[in-house]
Amino acid sequence: MRAILFWFFAGCLFITGCATDRQLDKHPHSDSHYSKVATKQDPQIILDILRKHKIELAQIVREGQLAAEAQVREEHYRQQLSNRLEPSIAEDRLMLGNPQAPITIVSYSDFLCPYCAQAAATIHTLMEKYPDKIRFVFKHHPLDQLATKTAIYFEAAALQSSEKAWQFHDYLFAHQQEIVDRGTTKFIEIAQSLELDLERLKQDAADNDIIRLVAKDIQESERFGFEGTPAFVINGIGTQGALPLKDFEKIIEIVESNRAAN
C-alpha cells in the first residue's frame, strides 16, 4: 500500500514541476508517466486515492511529523553541549551504577508523580542495559507537602543503607496511591518491611541537613528552568518528561559522539 501511495505522489510531483514533459517522454512506460497521464485526464483520481487510503496516508503524515519533531529535539540537545547544565553532586550523594562512569544522569523527581514512576522504570532498564556506562543520581522536585515528606524519608533511609534506600525508592513509586490515601503511615510501613530502624528514621527525617538537601534540589531544578517532573540532566543536556528508552539512548549517543569529536 505504501508503494502505491509513493508512486502516486511521485506522479503528482512530476505534474507540479519536478520533471518536464520531455523527461517523462523518455520513459513512456514508467509508473510516473502513467500517474501523470491518468491524473491529467481525470484529476478526480487524486481525491479518490486519498479517500480510499486515508488511514494509510494519515499514518505516513504522522510518521513524518514524529520524525520532524525528533530532529528538532536532537538539534536542541546538540545545542546544549555548548552551554551545559552543571548539577551539584556531592561525593556522599546516593547514586546507582559505576561512580566513574562516563555518563551521568541526574533526575529531579516527585515520588507521587505517575510520570516519575514511569521514568523510574525506564531508568532501571537503562541501568541494566548499560551497567558500566552510566551512573544515576536521584534528586528531588516534590510538588506538594506529602511528596516533600516522602523525599525526606527517602534521604533519611539512605543514611542507614544505600541498598535499602533504593528498595524504598522502588516501593514508594509502586505504592503511590496508597501513600496519597494514607500519608506517612504507608511509607512507615514500607520502611518497617525493609527492617529499617524506625526511630532513627524519624529522627533523621527531622534533621535540618536533610530538609535543606531536598530544598536545594528543588532550587537547582528551578534554576535549570524545569517546571514539572520528571526532569533530567544527562552530561549537561537537560530534558523533561517520561522519555522512552530510545530517547535516553539518543542523548547518550549525542554525548558520546561529541566526546569522540573533541
Residue pLDDT, tens place only, 148-181? 999 999 999 999 999 999 999 999 999 999 999 9
21 is written with which cell numbers? 514533459
Three-point CA angle 131, 132, 137, nearest 5°: 75
The pLDDT confidence band at residue 73, using thresholds 50, 70 and 90, is: confident
Proportion of the chain above pLDDT 70, given as a percent: 74
Map out the domains of the chain with their CATH numbers: 2-80 (no CATH), 95-261 (3.40.30.10)
Q: What is the pLDDT of residue 82?
A: 85
On the question of pLDDT at 124 being above 90, the answer is yes
Where is average pLDDT lowest: 32-36, 98-102, 142-146, 217-221?
A: 32-36
